[in-house]
Amino acid sequence: MKIKKNFEPIVSGISAAIVIGILAFLTLETSAGIWLIFSFGATVFLVFVLYDLDTAQPKNIFFGHLVSIIVGIVVNEIMGLSFYSLALAVGVSVILMVYLKIMHPPAASNPLVAISMDLSFDYILFPVVVGSIIIILSSILINRYILKRSYPKKWF
């Protein structure tokens, strides 16, 4: 049974809350490490509300977050925290996402987090890679089987 249009925002919001809740639980209530980053809040909005946009597709989510966190960490290692390192890292992330065709707007905030929190390369696997995969898998299951949507529109 397809969800009625006027209930879709409610189900989308509940779905976003569930996915973020799972990542937050794993981060705060277990010894499993860090699974959640702030940009994931905007990512779940995209996958449950604007799911048909290119920016909400799995390739863009995964590689957008991955590239931008790597840029942030590398810039932090080279330059440290400054107004120009923050600006440069976001700018380079945007350039790479556009040229590589992996545009995911929430990921543009990852360099700000990487530099301002002085993150290390360990942060790439947890939470960025693992968290992105959990969001992608959850969004496929929820969009396809609960919301009866065709998601993802394309993988690559």
Say what angle helices 8-28 and 39-49 make with each other, to 10 degrees: 150
Q: Is the pLDDT of residue 6 over 90?
A: no
Span 72-80, average pLDDT: 98
Q: Please give the Cα distance from 124 to 68 (Å, whole number).
A: 10
Q: State pLDDT tens for residues 85-109.
A: 999 999 999 999 999 999 999 999 9
Q: Please give the Cα distance from 119 to 100 (Å, whole number).
A: 24
pLDDT grade for 154, boundaries at 50, 70 and 90: confident
Q: Is the pLDDT of residue 156 over 80?
A: no
Q: What is the residue extent of each domain of the chain?
A: 5-146
pLDDT at 28: 95
pLDDT grade for 155, boundaries at 50, 70 and 90: confident
pLDDT at 132: 97
Cα dihedral sign for 112, 116, 118, 122?
negative
Q: State pLDDT tens for residues 95-146.
A: 999 999 999 999 999 999 999 999 999 999 999 999 999 999 999 999 999 9
Q: State pLDDT tens for residues 34-49.
A: 899 999 999 999 999 9
Long-range contacts from 133-138, C-beta under 8 angstroms, 24+ separation? 133/62, 134/19, 134/22, 134/23, 134/35, 135/19, 135/23, 135/40, 135/43, 135/44, 135/47, 135/61, 136/47, 136/58, 136/61, 136/62, 138/15, 138/18, 138/19, 138/22
Least Cα distance to 69 among 9, 6, 122, 147 occurs for 122
pLDDT grade for 1, boundaries at 50, 70 and 90: low
Q: Please give the Cα distance from 65 to 132 (Å, whole number).
A: 8
pLDDT at 69: 98
Number of Cβ within a 10 Å radius of residue 131: 25
Least Cα distance to 79 among 93, 87, 64 occurs for 87
Q: Is the pLDDT of residue 17 over 80?
A: yes
pTM reported for the whole predicted model: 0.95
Q: Is the pLDDT of residue 27 over 90?
A: yes
* Angle in degrees, CA 46, 122, 65, rounded to 5: 20
